[in-house]
Amino acid sequence: MTRTRSRYAPDHGLTTRMVTTMFLIGLLYVVLVGVLLAVLRGAWPIILIFTGGLFIAQFWFSDRIAAFSMGAREVTPEEAPELHGTIDRICALADMPKPRVAIARTDVPNAFATGRGEKSALVCATTGLLRRLEPEELEGVLAHEMSHVAHRDVAVMTIASFLGVLAGIVTRVALWGGLSRNRSSDPVGIVIMLIPLISAVVYCLSFLLTRLLSRYRELSADRAAALLTGRPSALASALTKVSGQMARIPTEDLRKAEPYNAFYFVPAFSSKESLSRLLSSHPTLEQRLDQLARISAELARP
């Protein structure tokens, strides 16, 4: 039998924006591949096989790669009873299967979820997060991460980010193959010479749209977690505490965490001037707290 959907509240406004952004990213990819196929007619089987194989590999193994890269180690209920107990409560509230549970031994206070869907999902909390948060705050953070699992956000972001990276890879391959067969004075050769520029434009636009999509995703997860637990103030407290504590983490540890900011509950920045703040995968703390304050007011109404 097909399992019913989880009890996480849908957010149709944010979902519409996420779908629109995904459509624009996909449109960029289709246009790029169309140009390549038109210019390099004889190479189209190679292009399609290469892009298809790379996509399948990233889609199926990205969760394992991410978990390994961030040092996530699966733990049993006996090893981490509080963490397992909290996730059990969230699963009961949301009516969804329990994911694998892991802990990453780092003082950076954070959490993340990975996996293509509920069957392959893994939710991880760092030792720094477990040490700093109260039980209700931890529940809010983990409910946020479980929302990513319920809404298949990891799969969505994997597809979105893949298209941007692939745009650069495919155009480079096409450029190398095309330059070896065409002179720059030929009409086709001139077009091929423009491919690096097309690649750069597509990659930049895709990067910005993916970051926009990620910010929508985080706001949606905050909202879903707050409504599921009924305690938006606990999630707001956790956000404030984790963001404040992040400034006290050694710079070296933050630099190690920065490449995985798209996965984390709160992004890690090694400096206040970091370019990542301008192109962040997360909304600002003020935006997230404002949304939680509005939800709290809505829940308080009779």
Catalytic sites, residue numbers: 145
The rounded Cα 132 to chain-centroid distance in angstroms is 24
Backbone angle region of 12, left / alpha / beta, with phi > 0 → left and psi within -120 to 50 → alpha: alpha
Contact status, residue 156 vs residue 22, Cβ threshold 8 Å: yes
Write the burial class of residue 209 (CB in 10 Å: 0-12 exposed, 13-18 middle, 19+ buried).
buried
**Residue in the block written with tokens 């399992």:** 3
Q: How many whole angstroms separate alpha carbon 5 and alpha carbon 210?
A: 26
Token digits of residue 210 = 């993916």
The rounded Cα 210 to chain-centroid distance in angstroms is 9
User: CA separation (Å) from 96 to 28, 38, 288?
Assistant: 35, 46, 25
Contact status, residue 272 vs residue 202, Cβ threshold 8 Å: no
Q: How many whole angstroms separate alpha carbon 277 and alpha carbon 284?
A: 9
Tell me the β-bridge partners of 118: none
User: CA separation (Å) from 93 to 90, 115, 130, 139, 244?
Assistant: 5, 21, 21, 11, 29
Helix (H/G/I), strand (E/B), else coil: 114: strand
Tell me the β-bridge partners of 15: none
Q: How many whole angstroms separate alpha carbon 148 and alpha carbon 249?
A: 26
Q: How many whole angstroms separate alpha carbon 105 and alpha carbon 60?
A: 25
Write the burial class of residue 100 (CB in 10 Å: 0-12 exposed, 13-18 middle, 19+ buried).
middle
